[in-house]
Each structure stands twice: as C-alpha cells, then as structure tokens.
Amino acid sequence: MEKPDSLRIAILEDDVTFHDAMARAIAAQPDMALHAAATSRAAGLAMLDGPAADVLLADIGLPDGSGLDVVRAAVERWPDCAVLVNTTFGDETDVMTAIASGAVGYLLKDSDDSQRIADIRSVHQGGSPISPMIARRILSRFRTQLPQPAEREPSPLSGREHEVLQKISQGFTSSEIAGELQISAHTVQTHIRRIYRKLAVTSRMEAVTLGRRHGWLND
C-alpha cells in the first residue's frame, strides 16, 4: 500500500512486460509506490483526473493515439510531476518531441532495473538524463530558432548552459563536466533541467508564432 511519504509513480504503458518489470522494480523499493497505471491514451488522460503523482513514466506509441497528448496534459494538470518518456533507443525524434511537449527526460527500456530506478530518483531530485545526440539537437535548435519580438522571446541558453550542452555532445559525462567546470554534478543536472524547460517554452512560443503568422490565432 502507498506509504505516506514515498515517491508516487504513475505508469502509462501498453507494453505489459515492461509495465510488469517496472511495477516489480518499484515494489522492491521501500520509498517508492506505484501510484496509478494506464495502458491507453484515453485511460492516461482519465488518470490525470486523479491525485497527482511525483513521477509519470509515459510511453509515446499507444494503441489509441500518441502519449504526447497525455504528456502535455500532465504538464498542465500535474504541474509538480516530472514526466519521463519510455523509449527503446533514446533516439532524437521521440525524445526531442517529448521534451518539447514538457517531459523532463526519458527512460531507456533496455537498461537494467537498478539503472532505471536510479534514473527515476535522479529525475525526482531535479536531474534530467540526456544523451550527446539530444544535446547536439538542442544546441542546433536554439541556434536556428524563429526570430521573435524580444520581450516575448524566452531567454536563450546562458553561456554556462551552452557550455554544458557542448560538452555533453562531445561525450563527456555530467561528473566529468562538473569536474572541469568546477561545479557540482547536481548543478550540471539543474542546468540540463532548465535547458529542457527552455526547449519546451521555445516550442510553445514557436507554435504560437506560427499560428499567429498563419492567422490561426487572434491577438
């Protein structure tokens, strides 16, 4: 049963094997609890009506639609919940769209239980997993973002954030970067989380700008 101060975890996943594996791994942790579970987009959206979880593990390819809809809704409805998307390859396309929709990271399906549990903990503590490919993608995305009025523009990457992304894209780990920049590994994690937020905001702004440009939105 749910312990009072345990980490509440919600799962949106249609892959029964992965779902069961995750459920077992969570049950094995004394400070974690499976808060809710859903196996389709509709059930996922319904799940958001219930009490908020601390961490949501969401699959993107669902039988009745895209898990990204649930991710977007979760950011609105469960603002304090950290959303992770489940992915096999951690490839650019899936993860980037998920982050742009408000996810703060991804969970590799093939990594072992302990790694996944560690990732969940890290996310809850404000960290965000990142791969060199994604770092690279974010860098180029911020380089070529749409020109907008200055007051609406979300602050572009700070120098430090830029530096961190650069290092990650060259293959350095968080702790290596922390050592080189003489900051704590936690700070590096915070940077990455902030970068993700900016990416999501930028994506929203771009959507709005695009909409306005095409006359879909009124001022």
Partner 1 sequence: MTENAATTILFDDSARYDTPRPHSPQGRRMFLLGTGTVAVGLIVLLLVRMLHGPVFGGSPVLWTQFFPAAEFLRQETVTDLNAPQADEIAADGPQGDWRLATLPYTGVPRTNVIPSASHGHAMTSWYRFKVAPPATLGKMSNDISFYLPRWKTEGRLAVYQNGHLVWRSHGDIIWNSFNRPVLIDLPIAGPSVILLRMDTLPGLGGAITPAWVGQHDALFWRYRIRIALQCIVPGVFAVVLLSMAVVLFFVALARPDSDLYLLFVFAAVLYTTRILHFLGPLDPSIISPVWFGWATVNSMCWLIVVGWLFCCGLAEVEFRWLKRLLVWGMIACTVATSPLFLSSATISALALCAYIFCFTLSTPTMPLLMAAMWRRRSGSGMLLLFWNMLMFPIAVHDMLMANYYVSIGHIYLLPYITPDLFLSCLYILCRRYINALGLAERSNQILETRLHAQEVTLRDTYERLHQIEQRELLVAERQRLMRDMHDGLGSTLTGAIHMADHAASHEVLAQTLKDCLFDLKLTVDSLEPVDADLLMLLANLRFRLTPRLRAQGVMLEWAVTPLPPLQWLTPSSALHILRILQEVITNILKHAQASHIRLSTETEPPGILVRVEDNGLGFCPDQRTNEGRGLHNICWRANALAGRVDWRLGNPGTNFMLWLPIEQPATRAQPGSP
Using the rule CB under 8 A, which residue among 136, 160, 162, 186 binds partner 1? 136
**110 near partner 1, judged by CB under 8 A:** yes
Q: Count residues contacting partner 1 (CB under 8 A)? A: 19
**132 near partner 1, judged by CB under 8 A:** yes
Q: Which is nearer to partner 1, 158 or 173 (CB)?
A: 173
Q: Angle at the Cα of 119 (from 7 to 41), degrees rounded to 5?
A: 70
**122 near partner 1, judged by CB under 8 A:** no
Q: Applying CB under 8 A, which part among 34-42, 72-80, 132-140, 144-152 lies near partner 1?
A: 132-140
**91 near partner 1, judged by CB under 8 A:** yes
**180 near partner 1, judged by CB under 8 A:** no
**115 near partner 1, judged by CB under 8 A:** yes
Residue where the block lists tokens 């396309």: 93
The secondary structure of 55-102 as a DSSP string is EEEEESEETTEEHHHHHHHHHHH-TTPEEEEEESS--HHHHHHHHHTT
Q: Angle at the Cα of 127 (from 123 to 128), degrees rounded to 5?
A: 80
Q: Which is nearer to partner 1, 133 or 183 (CB)?
A: 133
Q: Applying CB under 8 A, which part among 66-74, 167-175, 185-193, 204-212 lies near partner 1?
A: 167-175
Distances in Å between the alpha carbon of 21 and those of 24, 27, 112?
A: 5, 10, 10
Q: Which distant-in-sequence residues (6+ apart) come within 8 Å of 7 by Cβ? A: 29, 31, 32, 33, 54, 55, 120, 121, 124
**216 near partner 1, judged by CB under 8 A:** no
- Strand (E) or helix (H) holding 7: strand 7-12
Site for partner 1, rule CB under 8 A: 89, 91-92, 110-112, 115, 131-133, 136, 140, 168-173, 176
